[in-house]
Structure 1
Amino acid sequence: MTLEAIRYSRGSLQILDQLLLPQQSHYEAVGSVRQAWEVIHAMKVRGTLAISLVGCLSLAVGPGLAALVAFVRDKLSFLVTTRPTAVNMAHAAHDLADAAAQEAEREDDTEEAVRERVIRCTEDMLEKDLRDNWSIGDLGARHLLDWVAPNGSKVTVLTHCNTGALATAGYGTALGVIQSLHSLGRLEHAFCTKTRPYNQGALLTAFELVYEQIPATLIADGLVAAAMAHRGVSAVIVGADHVVAKGDTANKVGTYQLAIVAKHHGIPFYLAAPSSSCDLRLETSKEIIIEEHPSQELTDVNGVRIAVPRIGVWNPAFDVTPHDLITGGIITELGVFAPEELRAALTTTISSKDGT
């Protein structure tokens, strides 16, 4: 059975409560936009792609689209506030709002027609995400093998945070590349970090690797340099929440130092993300809003205080990796590009789709 972070059918939306993993697998019903905001904000559903899908799908199951376009724009703007760093949610909100507005401008339009257009667009996003993930996995695996193992040997890959089926509509991005390597019989081993302070690697990525029967080892975040030096790491692959035009990337905190260590050891560092994670409107990473999480993530473990009282806490959820450290390339569903190629490649693809 395939792991599912989201279960959706017309009129029904459920999310796998990731706060309960790996001890329990419980699906929670989401019946409104407010509930979607709450499960995203509480980290019951995670991953930049998964949260954008849940946010948009909640419009399809929530009651009353009586306000039509105004309702859609208002509720989507509300959902974007849950995770401001993840650009996918903002892109999805913009596309859905535009679709609703275009439908409303048609002659003889009805409330039901607008509602149907919004639901269909959202369902298409769900299907597209899964297709894109398969493409990312295939393209990334083949590019990596051509670079580091052209002789047909197996590779060892290190990843950070959670980028698999639990963070997407299915299969995954960076973890999708690892799955593709495994399917090709070319993966020797995968290392995943614990990903402090929220432990997504230990709770989610390790769970997925074991579930998919992929040979893997969990390591502390501070062990990545030693793993590269002594465990034959061939490449590093991570996801992304926000990629700007230059290729600078916001991803789970700890990614920046991982990229520095990889460059020191001469190990290619890859980024795997759909084109919807790329924001060509922003030139540099200085314009990205970086979320800060509650101090209790650092000071408490399972509700028990472990840090001395009154100590100051800085707990950003993301850090930024400069483009020149992404030495392997940026893997998208459209191809694998060097950071300096990204803007031109995506602009050309978008223009061709628009017929311009």
Structure 2
Amino acid sequence: MEIQRNIMDYDTVSLDDDNSAVVIIDQTKLPGNIELISLKTAQEIWDAIYLLQVRGAPAIGVAAAYGIYILAKGIDTQDYDTFYAEFKKQKEYLDSSRPTAVNLSWALNRMEQVIIRNSDKTVPELKQLLKKESIKIQEEDIRVCRTIGEYGLSLVKPGDGILTHCNAGKLAASKYGTATAPIYLGQEKGYGFRVFADETRPLLQGARLTAFELYASGVDVTLICDNMSATVMKNGWVNAVFVGCDRVAANGDTANKIGTSVVAAVAKQYQVPVYICAPTSTIDLSTPNGDAIKIEQRKPEEVTEMWYQERMAPEGVKVFNPAFDVTDHSLIAGIVTEYGIARAPYSESLKEIFAKKEAIEAEGV
């Protein structure tokens, strides 16, 4: 159904338990149409993640949690082993939709642990526990993003210019976003940030999504082409770069939307600090460095045809279309998490972040 209201009035992802559906904003239709779609089958959920109808690491995690709950809810058996086997099959299928974003597997594994830890429960009880866990994942996402925003806000001052790449905003999460969380909190406090949003070729998430949601929120946002970032930095208009991420390796290397590493290299040239806004669910200490991160390759049509009335490249030309690149840890000034800001050397500080997380969780805070 088509809705014509402010984009900020709607949840990026929500659970419609009565109709056994995950409801998302179809982000492929933005900014022209705000359209909500209901996902009920494994194929629909898989397609929505793969086709970027729902995207952004936190939002993918929430959608996966709700999705696997909806699929588990429909498993017709009272036998634990049969239920678990079918759950695992569906989980592995959903997990295959986006290989780079660690939040996808993180959320699905967390949901699986509910079943493993409660093998003594009945199937109806397990389904209720899965529902509770999926809701908890979304509630945590909101708290985590706000806390990241608070830490990020400490790195800038009123009136600063901020550049961001891709979309790590509300549309990529449940609320606030990650990279945009400091911007939204600053907006609440009257900081008057000037934001530059890269268009983010080839899928234009910065143009279609970041510029859209920031403008709708009253933020002073200027859209620029990706190849203009050096100019605005050289002009002294940018004081900090905030970007999200899809996976952080143990050494601080970070996979994010293609073009992020270019922004980081340019920022180093002009002595502008680059901050990665990363929930701990996006940090993968089992991945040693960026070379070990699998980079998703996408269809060539996204580059040659997707946004044009007529094909904008010669027929038969080869196209290289990686969805992400890896920003070397040496280009990153800090990794902003919900448990504090990690600084180089990241191989040590990221472990300290997780130690802090474990201590707080052990205290039940």
Q: Normalising by structure 1, report the TM-score.
A: 0.93
Instruction: Give the structure 1 partner of residue 5 of structure 2.
Output: none
The count of aligned residue pairs is 345
Report the counterpart of residue 354 of structure 2 in structure 1.
Answer: 347
Q: Which residue of 1 aligns with 2:88?
A: 73
What amino acid does structure 1 have at the position aligned with 2:9?
Answer: T
1:304 aligns with 2:310: yes
Q: How does 1:332-343 map to 2 (within 5 A)?
A: 332-339=337-344, 340=346, 341-343=348-350
Q: Please list the CA deviations of residues 235-259 of structure 1 after superposition, one character each: whole Å capped at 9, or x if unmatched.
A: 0000000001110000000000100
Q: Secondary structure at the match of 2:242?
A: strand
Aligned to 1:175: 180
- The equivalent of 1:19 in structure 2 is 28
Separation in structure 1 between the aligned mates of residue 340 and residue 361 of structure 2, nearest angstrom? 19
Which segments of 5 or more consecutive residues in structure 2 lack a partner in the other structure?
1-7
Go from structure 1 to structure 2 and tell me whether the alpha carbon gap of 1:73 and 1:202 turns closer, same or farther (over 3 Å shift): same
Q: Helix, strand or coil for the counterpart of 1:134? A: helix
* Residues 138 and 180, structure 1, Cα contact 8 Å, conserved in 2: yes
Is this contact kept in 2: 1:15–1:45, CA < 8 A?
A: yes
Matched letter for residue 23 of structure 1: G
Is the aligned partner of 1:102 residue 2:117? yes
Percentage of identical aligned residues: 33
For 1:213 and 1:351, the matched residues in 2 are separated by: 38
Match for residue 235 of structure 2? Answer: 230
Residue 124 (structure 2) pairs with residue 112 (structure 1): yes
Q: 1:262 aligns with which of 249, 267, 272?
A: 267
How many angstroms apart in 1 are the aligned matches of 2:187 and 2:361?
Answer: 36
Mapped contact 1:56–1:76 kept (Cα < 8 A): no
2:227 counterpart SS class: helix
- Mapped partners of 1:138, 1:353: distance in 2: 18
1:202 matched residue in structure 2: 207
Amino acid paired to 2:12: A
Matched, 1:90 2:105: yes
Moved more, 340-349 or 89-98: 340-349
C-alpha distance in 2 between matches for 1:165 and 1:336: 21
Secondary structure, in 3 states, of the residue corresponding to 1:52? helix
Instruction: Say if 1:317 and 1:178 are closer, same or farther in 2 by CA, change over 3 A.
Output: same
Find the counterpart in structure 1 of residue 75 from structure 2: 64
Question: Residue type of the partner of 2:331?
Answer: L
Q: 244, 252, 257: which is aligned to 1:247?
A: 252
User: Which amino acid letter does the alignment assign opposite residue 317 of structure 1?
Assistant: A
Cα distance between partner residues in 2 of 1:198 and 1:120: 34
RMSD: 1.7
Taking the aligned partners of 1:90 and 1:82, their CA distance within structure 2 comes to 10
Map of 1:51 onto structure 2: 60
Gaps of 5+ in 1: none
Q: Mean alpha-carbon deviation: is it higher for 340-349 or for 20-29?
A: 340-349
Cα displacement (A) at 1:302? 3.8
Q: Quick check: 1:59–1:119 contact (8 Å CA) kept in 2?
A: no
Give the Cα–Cα distance (whole angstroms) in 1 for the partners of residues 83 and 356 of structure 2. 32
- What letter is aligned with 1:60? Y
SS at match of 2:232: helix
1:184 to 182, 186, 189: 189
Assess if the C-alpha contact under 8 Å between 1:84 and 1:290 holds in 2.
Answer: yes
1: distance between equivalents of 2:93 and 2:202? 27
Measure the CA separation in 1 of the matches of 2:201 and 2:76: 41
Q: Is the 8 A contact 2:162 2:240 kept in 1?
A: yes
Q: Please list every run of at least 4 consecutive aligned residues from structure 1 whose deviation after the TM superposition is greater than 3 angstroms.
A: 353-356
Structure 2 equivalent of residue 134 of structure 1: 146
Amino acid at match of 2:328: P
Counterpart amino acid of residue 316 in structure 2: R
